[in-house]
Amino acid sequence: AQKVTQAQTEISVVEKEDVTLDCVYETRDTTYYLFWYKQPPSGELVFLIRRNSFDEQNEISGRYSWNFQKSTSSFNFTITASQVVDSAVYFCALSVAGTASKLTFGTGTRLQVTL
Amino acid sequence: NAGVTQTPKFRILKIGQSMTLQCTQDMNHNYMYWYRQDPGMGLKLIYYSVGAGITDKGEVPNGYNVSRSTTEDFPLRLELAAPSQTSVYFCASSSRLAGAFEQYFGPGTRLTVT
């Protein structure tokens, strides 16, 4: 069985601070995919990134960056120079190859960015 | 493209009533899913489908039924609604094309059972 743990329930930062959201996963499979989704106050789920288990390169997209480390089973998400619009719940999720892309979600981290 | 659409957006049911949550996608995705999101929790998979005519249970299927007669539609049926089914329900779809595993979600249906 797969498991995703997001130990940080809520994080509050002041605008322009950097913030890292932690994600730790468990799986016995060797081929799997990791995801981050954003859920703003409006409630929809927005796909942010997918990472394959065989690609440990870090990724940067604007103010967002992701650090994937298989050695520690972690897939952390950093927002640089946070903005109020980043306020949302962020979910980390995992799917295993050959399982119809079913997602196992973490419980989410609520990020509050204030002025 | 509208993506994944869900109706209704909100619904209040009395205990014991039944209803169907509608989900339609226009991306020609083979895979479709139903999740529920309870407060403070992540999403949990209720049912999923890998193509028309094929459905299977997820982690929390009790009290629900699904059907998939077309590629586009994946309705979720609640029979004999119970307060424990109060939740936000999300439908999602994804493609089985290689390298395209991310799921795209509908806007959700907020259901209250009283």
Query: Cβ distance A9 to A110 under 8 Å?
Result: yes
Q: Across all residues in chain A, what is the average pLDDT? A: 94
Chain B nearest CA to A46, separation (Å): 8
Q: Across all residues in chain B, what is the average pLDDT? A: 93
Q: How far is CA A4 from CA A98, B41, B42, in A?
A: 18, 12, 10
The predicted-structure confidence for A59-84, as pLDDT tens digits, reads as follows 889 999 999 999 999 999 999 999 99
Phi, psi (5° rounding) for residue B35?
-125, 155
Chain A nearest CA to B20, separation (Å): 20
Residue numbers in A near B44 (CB within 8 A): 105
Mean pLDDT of A29-37: 93
CB contact under 8 A, A47 and B104: yes
Provide the pairing of β-strand A64-69 with A19-21: unpaired
CB contact under 8 A, B88 and A43: yes
CB contact under 8 A, A102 and B108: no
The predicted-structure confidence for B34-59, as pLDDT tens digits, reads as follows 999 998 788 999 999 999 999 999 99
Instruction: Report the pLDDT value the prediction gives residue B99, as an integer from 0 to 100.
Output: 56
Residue numbers in A near B90 (CB within 8 A): 45
Chain B nearest CA to A107, separation (Å): 4
Q: Does A84 touch chain B (CB under 8 A)?
A: no
Residue of chain A minimizing CA distance to B96: A100
Q: Does residue B109 have a pLDDT over 60?
A: yes
CA dihedral of residues B23, B16, B38, B107 (deg, nearest 10): 20
> Measured on CA atoms in the order A25, B62, B32, A98, is the torsion positive or negative?
positive
Candidates A50, A106, A108; nearest CB to B101:
A50
Mean pLDDT of A30-50: 94
d(CA B92, CA B105): 4
More confident of the two residues A112 and B39:
A112
The per-residue b/e assignment along A35-63, b for 16 or more CB within 10 angstroms, e otherwise, is bbbbbeeeeebebbbbbebeeeeeeeeee
Q: Does A100 touch chain B (CB under 8 A)?
A: yes
Instruction: Report the pLDDT value the prediction gives residue B100, as an integer from 0 to 100.
Output: 57
CB contact under 8 A, A107 and B104: no
Instruction: Report the pLDDT value the prediction gives residue A56, as an integer from 0 to 100.
Output: 84
The predicted-structure confidence for B58-97, as pLDDT tens digits, reads as follows 999 999 999 999 999 999 999 899 999 999 999 999 987 6
Residue numbers in B near A103 (CB within 8 A): 33, 35, 43, 45, 103
Instruction: Report the pLDDT value the prediction gives residue B101, as an integer from 0 to 100.
Output: 73
d(CA B68, CA B7): 16
